Structure 1
Amino acid sequence: MIISPPFLLEQADSETDSEWVNRMMPADAQRSFPINKGQSWHGGIHLTGSSSNPVRCIADGKVLSLRQPDQAKRDVSPLNYNGATDYGYVLLKHETEIGSGDSGKIVWYSLYMHLSRVDGNAQPGKTLHRKEIIGMAGMVDDQNALHFQIFCDDENLQKITGRISPDTDLTKDGRVEVVYGDIHFFLPAGTPVYESAPPDNSLVNNSSVLETSVQLYVTMRFDKGSCTMTTRQEDPILPDNYSEVGEPLVNADGEDYEYNLYSSALKLYPASPSAGYEMLRFGRVINTEYETLSPADAPLWQKVNTPEGKGFVNLGARDIKVYSDGDFPHWMGWKLVDDDTDTNSQCNSPTILCTTRSDLNRMICHFPLEWDKATVDSRFEWLKSPNDVKNKPMAECDLNLLTEHGKALCLAENPLPSGRVWHFEPREFIAHFRKCGWLGLDDFVRIVRRNESHALQPNLTKAELVSWLTTEGRKPSGEIIRPDNVGVSLSKILSKYLIVTPLRMAHFMGQMARETGRFKFFVENGDLNYFNMYEPRTTQGIKLGNTQSGDGARFKGRGTVHLTGRENYSNYSKYRFGQSSTFFTEEPNNMLPAIDSYCACDAGGYFWISKQKFSRTFQPIGKLSINYWADQGSSQYNASQLTGRINPGQDGFISVRWPAFVHAWYALNDDVSTPDDFRPIK
């Protein structure tokens, strides 16, 4: 999912992403989520101070319903109840992907209410793309504001959060088909904590040991090379409150921990480095269809804080459960609230009313949609009687005015099912899913849809690219040049190798554009004479480790970022299956990086985190992972430096790699100024 706030201004270098999201969405404290000052349910937030900044689409979505505002009506009843109020709105339906399989395909809705103008580009049934202008914020009770909310139905709530229970299930690991963001570990009371980790990464630890006295929750976060381990425990007096234990441990296992995951996997898991990489990255093996950890109970030693002090814990132990942000862990504040069963607008939820938590922003609440005209009378019924909020019933005339005001603001056409829906605090929803990084089929289409020779040829049609992403391709000779179902495998691999930030993904897509012709072929083009240059008798062939006649064609470039030469195929074999493996140097296994979608994508990911090629113009020789170079920035110089680590000759940099990066970067980032060589897709 690619998502951004409804207002977009440049992010400061000193801001974290969540800080920037909150700055883009300043909220009125009196119109907060999930209840307002009158103790009635409020499904969204009111964004203020936005009179000159256009409202933008937060993610690709289809317009389900809209109403053009009439500013002449906002100053009179029924819209003017407590002050001038605009009633323009746009309702969008979003069908996005956050993981593999059916459970990774989700549907949710965003509503932009109190618009003073709806852009002419917004039309019923039309798909609006992220960052497209929807309109302008209008007035609410004489104040400039936009009511903004995000919600979903029961089925998609389970897909989004992975559960229907209020809290996370601590008896089993989290989902493997939906994994993103930070990794979390549940440590039961009595977990052994050791003074040091075994030097040989064995299960046997002979250092001094103690046991944890309480349940602990450990979060592992990667960011630009660093790894931060944060421990939390529940407050024994205030349930549902989780405080940090000690100061977070940053790079406790060495500087640039994330950039060095590949070398660590080779060292710690020599019998299965690829599966070991997943242990280091996810806390467990995720792609079990392709990766097998050897030995099966190989440990994951990490230094963590405990109430008893710092120590090393085997986070791979079977009694420790592993989750990701995709499981919406309750100790991070995410709680499902479904204990107000009536159909009125008063909040009677014991969870909300009796909570000891000061922050309700991560409560996901089930209550009636407030914009359904058919339910206004029943939702306001409680105002007729004395209650905990009002000492006396609302006068009939006042209630009638309020009811008419509510109906005037309701959806002109409500295509949604009646009843209760699940509401998310919009800032938290957006900040959370900006950590997802999973790209669906439509996302790939937006990112890569352009021919290499774009100056001479028109853009690819969507059907052409979808076909390339989902079906295999064969040359006239019958050789398979493209595997099937590349989109799902590529998203898995981007997640595995932490190519999940917009900048890293854009750099990867820029390089892949040249290597594969934007998904058209996953094998190096050329005739027999071309591959003869790679034969063992040539300098180039010797550099590539080719030793036998025919190795030039046998080990030609294959994969999303090309493996080329016997030595590279051999090293990839050792990475996937252990130091003694020769799997990919044997025929026909050498073909797999071109015909098997997982191998094709994983080979590119492997290259990305393991390889650097240097020439005298690319100094200094430093970081190993190309992710390091991707993190340096988005300038042409940055892209050129990264290209040099993949192709020292800068092959196709100006004509393909750089333009493809610019296109992908615009599609992925939050910049609203269109670069010269980006042509929006129609």
Structure 2
Amino acid sequence: MLISYPFLPPRQISETDEAWEARIFNLEMLDSGVYPASLQSVWHGGIHLRDPGNHEPVRAIADGTLVAYRMASGKVTPPGSAPETGVDNSFVLLRHETETAEAEQGEGCNKVVFYSLYMHLMDDAELRGEGRQEAARPLPLRSATGDGSDAQSIKVDGETKIYRKDILGFPGLSAGGRRMIHFEIFTTNSDLNAFFVDSLSTVVDAQGAANGNIGVWGDSYFVVPAGTSVLASAPHADAHHKIAKHVFPTGQAGTTGARLFVRIGYRGGDKYTTVWRDNGGTLAPTLLTDTQGTVDKNFEYALYPLAKKLYRSGPSAGYEMLRFGRAIGPDKQLLAAADKQLHTLITWDAGKSGYIDLAAHGIKKLSDADFPSWLGWQKIAESDGAFSADGICDVPGLRALMGLAVKPGDTGDAATQDFSTFISATENASIRERLRHLVCRFHTEWDGSDNEHRYARLKQRDGLGPGVDGPFCGKDADYDKQLAFFRKLQFWGQPADWTNTGLTDPQVWHFHPFGFIQHMRRCGWRSLNEMAQLLPRSSYAGMPARHDHVNIAWGTSVSRWTPYVRAFNQAFRKYGIVTPNRQTHYFAQTFIETARLDTMRELGRGHKNSHGHWPTPAMQYYQAFFGRGSMQLTWAGNYDDYRDFRTAGALPDNASGVYSDSRITRTSLHYWANPADHGTEKQWYPRYDPDIIASDPYNAADSGGYYWVSKHHDGTYDINSVCDHGVTEQTIGRVSVLVNGGGFGFFERQGYAHYVARFLSDDTSETKTATFNPHHGSVTSEVTVDYTPQRS
């Protein structure tokens, strides 16, 4: 799933991801329409974002389809306002369909369907007046659809494809003359049920060993029951408290006195463990660590040697145990029962830490795919008992659902105070964070069919609570004018062909947009359409001696990716290749190693060329054990090491003695490594047929991930440790040497990395081509990158 924010300001030099994201979050206007309620506590499905300035455009947050839009020629005027203080009612509504993981059963994937709405976009007249009409917007959005005063200005589309980061428009004016947009994310009831896990009622409160969604992604979470035993030391640690050279500090033994919620996440190779103590019911849990968690430096880079040391019966499944707390891949059945342990250092009480076996029966294993309730993920509906079906979000009712007691003495205005006032208060910062995880079902404000019902309390005596009249109490004429103005902003159901949108039920589920995007950005699974966009339409090969032009059409990219997209995603998840930087580096390498996904077998297949020469000196020694898979596993020794990792249960012996490559027989000898590196010959039979590394998509992808994390370099393991330093000429070059060892494709890999980074990252550059001059040893070559999008 690829998703980004509606504003993507340029990053400052050396700015961290967290600091850049914080600048975007600071655009939220807490003194205006907030989520999930607005002024006068009326339900509000989105947030208001101020104009970032610098002519920053509003962008599509993900690939999708244009559902409906209005590009008004001018503004509409609120009642009692001068014409020059008009409000923009231009909007764009998009439908997004993507994937987060494989399906529970079968070969399909877990679909996620949601909608994004961008309201108060700059009108056509102002765009032209400021010279912004030439911005590269999708074709239907480039001209006015009407004056915006009636349904004729609203257009239903349903066909135009929109891509992530596409410009949709620019911030317009809202009430009070402030330049901003209203932004929201929602989904239908059936679509929500397809991907949202209500862990509050179905997971967290249950007991036993059941785990969460099979579609694991993001951070891992564990529910540890009260009464769980805690060890002071890690089993298998040596006298220096080390396992595979990684330090496991001594803690304090004991027994947990309360249920614990544990989160384990990886950031730049470091492991962060965050722990909460359950306070029961719906009360917010208590943090036992800081918010980020306790850090274990470079733990992720040590997963491979730890898996080999701790899980001898199945290092591959053990690697997953270490990363996820459970084995989730096809090798999980191969792990011996005695090896199914994961003793992890946990802060189990204030000031006390010790080792808890998170793999134990009775400890639930979840991930971000399960929307953990203790983070605040919770579904509430206007029809819930705490709320009246009157369009008003009562603060006391919301407090109760969030486990927040109404303060003693709160009566009248204090008990039912305006929601924006309540939520913007400095002391309620923690509540704002929890609100980011509420998923609320209520009637969309953009449907005018029930305005009278929704806003009735705004004109009633005591309409907002005891002693708090609605703002239009006794002002029926003003109330009617206000509703008439609301109708000019609304659009839902108004065009005659609205039913074509599929949005027939105005009762939809709303997410806090930033909460949804931030959460979903942790998912590294990429759909077929997202993957297919990463193979360049136009590139060059044969550098530095030649610059042969290579063209790949959209249909070709789709067909090449189709057999492998699921397997690549599974490998990426298993080996932590889930960030844009890591995936960029991996793709840059595998595109060369597999001739742009055209083959999972080395060209020439270990034979002499037509001139009777070995293409490379080493080939005469590895021959039948030529490169196969996404990272071209080469040499018999590497194939054997991979079987040790997967075990003979996953790559069984070939009892027949007949191999796909006739050079391998029952008695043939093969070099385990290059004789220049002291490699010797051994008999391969009866081991598995190496061709299944190429012929089976899972093996092809997994073997590449294995090579990636098992590579020992610079005193550590894991090529991800280089990727985490960014995408630069130096890091691309270093990864290239670690993967290939020589100069083959060195310059092409530089070009592919720059191309993939443009589309995987939040970069909004619009240059069609760029030229770089990387060097390898004493050789420098000009590399031209053609950024023409790979699309249908």
TM over 0.5: yes
Q: Could you tell me how far apart the structure 1 residues matched to 2:617 and 2:68 are?
A: 65
Q: Could you tell me how far apart the structure 1 residues matched to 2:17 and 2:504 are?
A: 34
Pairs within 5 Å for 1:84-99: 84-99=86-101
Partner of 2:35: 33
Alignment check: 8 A CA contact 1:182 1:222 kept: yes
Residue 131 in structure 1 maps to residue 165 in structure 2: yes
1:335: how far off? Answer: 1.3
Amino acid at match of 1:185: F
Partner of 1:595: 695
Q: Could you tell me how far apart the structure 1 residues matched to 2:602 and 2:644 are?
A: 23
Which of 57, 60, 63 is matched with 2:60 structurally? 57
Counterpart secondary structure, 1:589: coil
Residue 9 in structure 1 maps to residue 9 in structure 2: yes
Which of 741, 752, 758 is matched with 1:666 structurally? 758
Partner of 2:531: 444
Q: Could you tell me how far apart the structure 2 residues matched to 1:638 and 1:240 are?
A: 47
Alignment check: 8 A CA contact 2:440 2:509 kept: yes
Alignment check: 8 A CA contact 2:315 2:646 kept: yes
1:595: how far off? Answer: 1.1
Partner of 2:45: 43
Residue 213 in structure 1 maps to residue 306 in structure 2: no
Which of 228, 231, 242 is matched with 1:191 structurally? 228
After superposition, the Cα gap between the structure-2 partners of 1:297 and 1:635, relative to the gap in structure 1 and judged at 3 Å, is: closer
Which of 742, 745, 749 is matched with 1:649 structurally? 742
* Deviation sequence 1:31-89 (CA, Å, 0-9, x none): 11011231110100000133521111111111110111232x33465997995210000
Counterpart secondary structure, 1:95: strand
Amino acid at match of 2:185: I
Partner of 2:518: 431
1:382: how far off? Answer: 3.6
1:164: how far off? Answer: 7.9
Amino acid at match of 1:340: S
Partner of 1:223: 267
Partner of 1:510: 588
Counterpart secondary structure, 1:401: helix
**Which structure has the larger Rg over C-alpha atoms?**
2
After superposition, the Cα gap between the structure-2 partners of 1:348 and 1:664, relative to the gap in structure 1 and judged at 3 Å, is: same
Pairs within 5 Å for 1:136-215: 136-141=170-175, 142-163=177-198, 168-171=203-206, 173-199=210-236, 209-215=253-259
Q: Could you tell me how far apart the structure 2 residues matched to 1:80 and 1:98 are?
A: 49
Which structure 2 residue ranges, 5 or more long, are not aligned?
Answer: 125-134, 141-156, 244-249, 405-429, 542-546, 655-683, 770-784
1:166: how far off? Answer: 5.8
* Deviation sequence 1:586-618 (CA, Å, 0-9, x none): 5763111111111110000001001257xxxxx
After superposition, the Cα gap between the structure-2 partners of 1:7 and 1:578, relative to the gap in structure 1 and judged at 3 Å, is: same
Equivalent residue pairs, number: 644
After superposition, the Cα gap between the structure-2 partners of 1:631 and 1:321, relative to the gap in structure 1 and judged at 3 Å, is: same
* Deviation sequence 1:164-193 (CA, Å, 0-9, x none): 866744435444432111111110000111
1:432: how far off? Answer: 1.0
Q: Could you tell me how far apart the structure 2 residues matched to 1:311 and 1:638 are?
A: 38
* Deviation sequence 1:294-332 (CA, Å, 0-9, x none): 236521011110116111111110111111111110111
After superposition, the Cα gap between the structure-2 partners of 1:330 and 1:80, relative to the gap in structure 1 and judged at 3 Å, is: farther
Partner of 2:441: 366
After superposition, the Cα gap between the structure-2 partners of 1:288 and 1:337, relative to the gap in structure 1 and judged at 3 Å, is: farther
Residue 604 in structure 1 maps to residue 738 in structure 2: no
Pairs within 5 Å for 1:421-570: 421-450=508-537, 452-453=539-540, 457=549, 459-470=551-562, 485-526=563-604, 529-530=607-608, 540=618, 552-553=623-624, 555-570=625-640
1:375: how far off? Answer: 3.3
Q: Could you tell me how far apart the structure 1 residues matched to 2:577 and 2:373 are?
A: 27
Alignment check: 8 A CA contact 2:78 2:485 kept: no
Counterpart secondary structure, 1:521: coil
Q: Could you tell me how far apart the structure 1 residues matched to 2:81 and 2:120 are?
A: 11
Which of 227, 246, 267 is matched with 2:309 structurally? 267
Partner of 2:460: 385
After superposition, the Cα gap between the structure-2 partners of 1:319 and 1:609, relative to the gap in structure 1 and judged at 3 Å, is: same
Counterpart secondary structure, 1:302: strand
Q: Could you tell me how far apart the structure 1 residues matched to 2:67 and 2:323 are?
A: 40
Partner of 1:572: 642
Q: Could you tell me how far apart the structure 2 residues matched to 1:440 and 1:285 are?
A: 23
Amino acid at match of 1:57: A
Pairs within 5 Å for 1:243-392: 243-247=286-290, 250-252=294-296, 255-288=297-330, 292-295=334-337, 298-307=340-349, 309-338=352-381, 340=383, 344-348=390-394, 351-354=397-400, 355=402, 356=404, 358-359=431-432, 360-386=435-461, 387-389=463-465, 390-391=468-469
Residue 396 in structure 1 maps to residue 476 in structure 2: yes
Identify which range, 265-274 or 19-28, moves more after superposition: 19-28
1:21: how far off? Answer: 2.8
After superposition, the Cα gap between the structure-2 partners of 1:567 and 1:597, relative to the gap in structure 1 and judged at 3 Å, is: same
Counterpart secondary structure, 1:196: coil
Q: Could you tell me how far apart the structure 2 residues matched to 1:306 and 1:163 are?
A: 26
Counterpart secondary structure, 1:365: strand
After superposition, the Cα gap between the structure-2 partners of 1:78 and 1:438, relative to the gap in structure 1 and judged at 3 Å, is: farther
Q: Could you tell me how far apart the structure 1 residues matched to 2:586 and 2:50 are?
A: 38
After superposition, the Cα gap between the structure-2 partners of 1:87 and 1:246, relative to the gap in structure 1 and judged at 3 Å, is: closer
Q: Could you tell me how far apart the structure 1 residues matched to 2:790 and 2:474 are?
A: 53
Counterpart secondary structure, 1:279: helix
Alignment check: 8 A CA contact 1:344 1:368 kept: no
Q: What is the aligned-residue identity percentage?
A: 30
* Deviation sequence 1:315-367 (CA, Å, 0-9, x none): 11011111111111011121111253565421258751434172322111111
After superposition, the Cα gap between the structure-2 partners of 1:150 and 1:79, relative to the gap in structure 1 and judged at 3 Å, is: farther
Alignment check: 8 A CA contact 2:310 2:339 kept: no
After superposition, the Cα gap between the structure-2 partners of 1:351 and 1:432, relative to the gap in structure 1 and judged at 3 Å, is: farther
Alignment check: 8 A CA contact 2:40 2:464 kept: no
Amino acid at match of 1:323: L
After superposition, the Cα gap between the structure-2 partners of 1:110 and 1:604, relative to the gap in structure 1 and judged at 3 Å, is: same
After superposition, the Cα gap between the structure-2 partners of 1:243 and 1:457, relative to the gap in structure 1 and judged at 3 Å, is: same
1:457: how far off? Answer: 4.8
Alignment check: 8 A CA contact 2:252 2:354 kept: no
Counterpart secondary structure, 2:749: helix
Partner of 1:233: 277
Amino acid at match of 2:138: N
* Deviation sequence 1:550-572 (CA, Å, 0-9, x none): x612x211111111111010000
Identify which range, 18-27 or 631-640, moves more after superposition: 18-27
Amino acid at match of 1:517: A
Alignment check: 8 A CA contact 1:78 1:405 kept: no
1:158: how far off? Answer: 2.4
After superposition, the Cα gap between the structure-2 partners of 1:79 and 1:281, relative to the gap in structure 1 and judged at 3 Å, is: farther
Q: Could you tell me how far apart the structure 2 residues matched to 1:305 and 1:216 are?
A: 9
Amino acid at match of 1:358: I
After superposition, the Cα gap between the structure-2 partners of 1:136 and 1:541, relative to the gap in structure 1 and judged at 3 Å, is: closer
Alignment check: 8 A CA contact 1:183 1:220 kept: yes
Alignment check: 8 A CA contact 1:167 1:330 kept: no
Counterpart secondary structure, 1:189: coil
1:402: how far off? Answer: 1.7
Alignment check: 8 A CA contact 1:63 1:122 kept: no
Amino acid at match of 1:163: D
Alignment check: 8 A CA contact 2:316 2:331 kept: no
Amino acid at match of 2:442: F
Alignment check: 8 A CA contact 1:122 1:128 kept: no
1:211: how far off? Answer: 1.0
Alignment check: 8 A CA contact 1:81 1:402 kept: no
